[in-house]
Structure 1
Amino acid sequence: MVRLPLTPADVERGQRLGALLRRARGARSILETALDAGVSPETLRKIESGRVATPAFPTIAAIADVLGLSLDAVWAEISRAEPDAAPARSGTGAPERLAS
């Protein structure tokens, strides 16, 4: 499978995701959080550092669950619009949301 190159927006969204997860984790260790979520500590470290800008949905869902974050809160944080950009919207006129 060939992956398309990440856009600057993808990279920025990955950085926001990583920052959100780091803040939510607080003083809890990467090891403890990763094991509770069923992912490797290295995977969590890469996501938090922004090195994995587009992690798999089940991975984010598991980490968010362990950290007590709703998927709606995660989506709202990582998809917030830039000051000069319009918000992402679906064809219905409503903001796009992750299914939870």
Structure 2
Amino acid sequence: MVRMPLTPAEVERGERLGALLRRARGERSMLSVALDAGISPETLRKIESGRVATPAFSTIAAIADVLEISLDAVWDEVGSRTAETTARRIAS
């Protein structure tokens, strides 16, 4: 299966998501957060670095739960800008 390249908007969203999670993690180790969320440290590293720009919802929900941030906060930081950009493109 060939995966389509990410759009610039998806790359930007992944970078914003990674930055949000890094800030929320603070001084906690990547290892402890990943294990508490039930994911591998490598997966968390890739998400935080923006290399996985479109992680599964369940993965983000698990990380957000461990970091005690609401999914609404994640959406406000990451998803809403993408939705606004998409809406503008459709309206044009």
> TM-score, with normalisation over the residues of structure 2?
0.85
Residue type matched to 1:33 in 2? Answer: V
The equivalent of 1:97 in structure 2 is none
The equivalent of 1:18 in structure 2 is 18
Cα offset, 1:5, TM superposition: 1.6
The equivalent of 1:64 in structure 2 is 64
Identity %: 76
Structure with bigger helix share is: 2
Cα offset, 1:3, TM superposition: 2.6
Alignment map for 1:1-40 (pairs within 5 Å): 1-40=1-40
Question: Aligned partners of 2:64 and 2:56: how far apart in 1?
Answer: 12
Aligned-residue Cα RMSD (Å) equals: 1.9
Q: Is the 1:34–1:41 contact (alpha carbons within 8 Å) kept by the matching residues of 2?
A: yes
> SS where residue 81 of structure 2 aligns?
coil
Q: Taking CA–CA contacts closer than 8 Å with sequence separation of 6 or more, which of the two structures ends up with the larger relative contact order? A: 2
> SS where residue 33 of structure 1 aligns?
helix
Deviations 1:9-34 (A, max 9, x none): 00000000000000000000000000
Question: Aligned partners of 1:15 and 1:45: how far apart in 2?
Answer: 12
- In structure 2, the gaps of 5 or more residues are 88-92
Cα offset, 1:68, TM superposition: 0.3
> Alignment length, in residue pairs?
87
